[in-house]
Amino acid sequence: MSEIRFDDQVAIITGAGHGLGRTYAEELARRGVAVVVNDLGVDVHGLGSGPAAQVVVDGIKKAGGRAVANMDSVASAEGGQAIVDAAINEFGRVDIVINNAGILRDKSFHNLSFTEMDDIIDVHLRGAFYVSQPAYRVMREHKYGRFLFTTSAAGLFGNFGQTNYSAAKMGLVGLSNTIAIEGAKNGIHSNAIAPIARTRLT
């Protein structure tokens, strides 16, 4: 059986400096995809900064792949547009978006602050929207596109201390499903996955 290839396609992967995002980036690059590795290099709480995206890019290039690092934040419309612009400017197109960026603000429901709710919604749900909408517009022009949203069992079933995270992750399911319905006539598909993996976020 021949290897599945995606030669000459371009992917944006958010939260690609570590864990699942890094795995997606490295595997797609191995299969011929040019990758925009988006990551702020923050810790699991969204604090600090670091060279995580560039480290992944360096590894991809060393293995013979194509990639560019991007450190714009998904948590604003301007950041989302800048991430898509990075793909267009570097590789000329956008074919795939994997919305994987995430942080944690775990707190029991009765203690959860508005800020802790907003921080999670901004990165997980609004962040996916801010990146996906400008990418979707590009995909419509080319009549082709693929979206993948990283949801969670916490979104599907709930999890103690993760009201904010669970709500955001379930929101991604609705976002993905609607993009799939609206995008079908233009060759755009969208799916959500709820992976079980041991990463620094878990």
- Catalytic residue numbers, as ranges: 165
Strand 34-38 to 145-150 pairing? unpaired
CA gap 164, 150 in Å, rounded: 15
Q: Up-side HSE of residue 36: CA atoms within 13 Å toward CB?
A: 33
Which 3-state string (H, E, C) describes 72-98?
Answer: CCCCCHHHHHHHHHHHHHHHCCCCEEE
Please give the single-letter amino acid code of residue 187.
Answer: G
Q: Residue 34 belongs to what H/E stretch?
A: strand 34-38
Q: Up-side HSE of residue 99: CA atoms within 13 Å toward CB?
A: 36
Nearest to 138 by CA among 191, 89, 176, 93: 93
Report DSSP letters for 98-166, one per residue. EE-------B-GGG--HHHHHHHIIIIIIHHHHHHHHHHHHHHHHT-EEEEEE--HHHHH--TTBHHHH
